[in-house]
Amino acid sequence: MIASINYQSRTRKIDLTKPLDISIPMRASKDNVNAWYIDAPKIEPVVIDEWKAAVVDGASINFNSINFNPHAHGTHTECVGHITEKVHSVNQNLKQFFFLAEVVTVAPERYMNDTMISKAQIKFALGNKKRDAIVIRTIPNMIEKKSKQYSHTNWPYLQEDAVAYLVQKGIKHLLIDQPSVDREEDGGELKSHKAFWNFEGKLRKDCTITELIYVPNSIEDGTYFLNLQIAPFENDATPSKPILYKIID
C-alpha cells in the first residue's frame, strides 16, 4: 500500500507494506536489554489462590502482569516531565506521530575517559538538511545492543553543545541507540536533556527523546518518514515503537 503524505507543501510517498522497525522488544529475561542498575522485567501470569492464569496450566486464558521500567528495559520515548518537578505526561504532549527524519551513523570520539558525540560530528551528519527528527546510530553497531547490560559501562553520550545545535536546527525528536543522551554518571547534571528541552526557558513540551533504539546495519543513512508509536501511559516516559519508512521519489 502506497501512502501520500503532504509535508512542507510537497507530496511524498511511502510504502506502508515495508516498515523498518527500530525498536527493541521487551522480554521477561535476564538477556533483555537493561540499564540503570535494576533487575530484568517480569511478565508473569496472575495467581489467585490455586488458580494460575496460564492456558498451559489449565486456565482458559493467558492473563499476565508486567513489571518493568520504561527507561531501563527497552525502547522508550520521554518528554520534559523526565526532568521537571511538575509532572508532564508524554501521552499528553506528543500529539503528532509522523515526522521527516534523518538517519545518521556516528562514531563517538574519545574524550578524556569517555566517548561522546560532538557538535562537529552532528553538523557534518546533518549538513544543511532541515528535519523534524534525527535518528542516531552509533558504531560499532552489533546486534548485541538488543541484549546489552548497560549498567556501569559509561556509554557514549551527546555533548551539550551538540544537542543545543540540534535545537537550533529545529530538531524536535531525538532518537539514539544508547540508554541516555547524557553521561551515565554525571552527578545529576543532565546537561543534554536540559539543553534539548530548554530547561532554563520556555519548555519544549512537544519535543521528545527516544532512547535504546536499534538501527540494523541494513538501514542506510538518509531521509525517512518516522512513525513514532507510543503506548498511552500518563507518565514522563513510555515504551515506544519507532518505525521508519523509505520515501519513494
Give the residue from 203, 195, 139, 189 showing the smallest Cα distance to 167.
Answer: 195
Q: What is the pLDDT of residue 175?
A: 99
**Domains in the chain, ordered, with CATH?**
2-26+70-248 (3.50.30.50)
Dig out the grid coordinates for 31 from the structure.
538477556
- In a structure prediction context, what are the per-residue pLDDT tens digits for the chain, which is 249 residues long? 787 777 766 788 888 999 999 999 999 999 999 999 999 999 999 999 999 999 999 999 999 999 999 999 999 999 999 999 998 999 999 999 999 999 999 999 999 999 999 999 999 999 999 999 999 999 999 999 999 999 999 999 999 999 999 999 999 999 999 999 999 999 999 999 999 999 999 999 999 999 999 999 999 999 999 999 999 999 999 999 999 999 987
